[in-house]
Structure 1
Amino acid sequence: MPLPDINAMHPQIQLALEHWRRMAPGKGLLPGRQHFDPIDVPRLLPNLWMLDVQREPLRFRCRLLGTHVQQAGAKARVGLWLDETYDAETLEKVLDFLAPLIERGEPNWRKGTPVLPHLRQVQSLEVIALPMASNGSDVDLILNVTVFSWESGWKPRVLGG
């Protein structure tokens, strides 16, 4: 989905997009993992998740899952490929969202009900997927930030607590 006006985005999503734009190493170049230092955006870390991109065939491996993403019941696990975790129908939805981002090298944004399985208490979410390329052009990593809206009165459990 095309990006909405930045002012229509959740503040966490705005922060992620602005930071991604600042990380770009030059005009027309995508930032790579080498340009991303989590210390620069500590407020994003709980909502952040990263996917390594493999081409031929196109696959995604979970590199990092923030605590809020885990609390929302994400099934993905660090180190596993998404096709090892999700069924074919779910993977097709993921591909529909991420493939254009990989082809165009442009962010993708979505707001609505979850596409991936989450806890039933997750009423909606807002996500931005930001392409990253170690060589500046070929997307090899996707930095995602997701903000969750919960059922009224429900609070996610604290991990490790």
Structure 2
Amino acid sequence: MAGLFWDDRLDDLFAYWNAKRGNRPAPSRRDLDPREITRLLPFLHLIDVEPEPMRFRHRLIGSELIDTLGRNVTGKYVDDVFYGPAAAEILETMRALATEIRPFRRRSRMEWHRADWLTMEALELPLIDEHGQVNMILCGRSFTLADPAFASDVNSDPFPLC
């Protein structure tokens, strides 16, 4: 059976997140055990959500992401990092994810980065605190060579919460 994503690690991440959330809208960070997902760790990205005013800070970035992107933005705020024309959309997506508590799939060309020949597919998943508020976003990010045959299919699109 074909998965929902180009990279089967994203399917595995989504299944893991769903299993950990149970009947809640999302799991908490303490529900996750890195030992259970060691294969996924290199492509994971964890972002802190600060509520007032809402800001997003890069908490942890997997080694595969650092190698692919050629930079480590751990500790920096998302709005402080150069995303070019994609910045407004990226921030709006994170705000929606944090307030609506739902997963989001992003497919986009890396036009904001020097590796603009790559296409990124990302799964962005909310994590909640003990009060049910999103306090982190767990992301899996995968990169592939951009293919003109699917150029029209690489825009961000919401992923329904199952």
Q: If the TM-score is normalised by the length of the shorter chain, which range does it land in?
A: 0.7 to 0.9
From 118, 121, 129, the counterpart of 2:124: 129
Give the CA deviation at 1:150: 3.6
How many pairs are equivalent? Answer: 145
Distance 2:115 2:58 in 1: 22
Name stretches of at least 5 consecutive residues in structure 1 with no aligned partner: 1-5, 153-161
State how 1:74-85 maps to structure 2 within 5 Å: 75=71, 77-85=73-81
From 102, 105, 108, the counterpart of 2:98: 102
2:138 maps to: 143
Give the CA deviation at 1:29: 4.1
Distance 1:29 1:51 in 2: 18
Distance 1:64 1:27 in 2: 27
**What is the TM-score with the length of structure 2 in the denominator?**
0.78
Asked if the contact 1:111–1:127 (Cα under 8 Å) also holds between the matched residues in 2, the reply is: yes
1:112 maps to: 108
Task: Evaluate the alpha carbon distance shift between residue 22 and residue 143 of structure 1 in structure 2; reply closer, same or farther with a 3 A threshold.
Answer: same
Asked if the contact 2:109–2:116 (Cα under 8 Å) also holds between the matched residues in 1, the reply is: no
Distance 1:49 1:126 in 2: 13
Counterpart residue type for residue 50 of structure 1 = L
The residue matched to 1:124 in structure 2 has which SS?
Answer: strand
User: Is 1:47 matched with 2:43?
Assistant: yes
Asked if the contact 1:74–1:118 (Cα under 8 Å) also holds between the matched residues in 2, the reply is: no
Asked if the contact 2:79–2:91 (Cα under 8 Å) also holds between the matched residues in 1, the reply is: no
2:65 maps to: 69
Asked if the contact 1:30–1:136 (Cα under 8 Å) also holds between the matched residues in 2, the reply is: no
Task: Evaluate the alpha carbon distance shift between residue 126 and residue 109 of structure 1 in structure 2; reply closer, same or farther with a 3 A threshold.
Answer: same
Task: Evaluate the alpha carbon distance shift between residue 20 and residue 87 of structure 1 in structure 2; reply closer, same or farther with a 3 A threshold.
Answer: closer
Asked if the contact 1:65–1:78 (Cα under 8 Å) also holds between the matched residues in 2, the reply is: yes
From 30, 35, 60, the counterpart of 2:31: 35
Asked if the contact 1:51–1:61 (Cα under 8 Å) also holds between the matched residues in 2, the reply is: yes
User: Is 1:15 matched with 2:12?
Assistant: yes
Asked if the contact 1:52–1:62 (Cα under 8 Å) also holds between the matched residues in 2, the reply is: yes
Percent identity for Structure 1 against Structure 2: 24
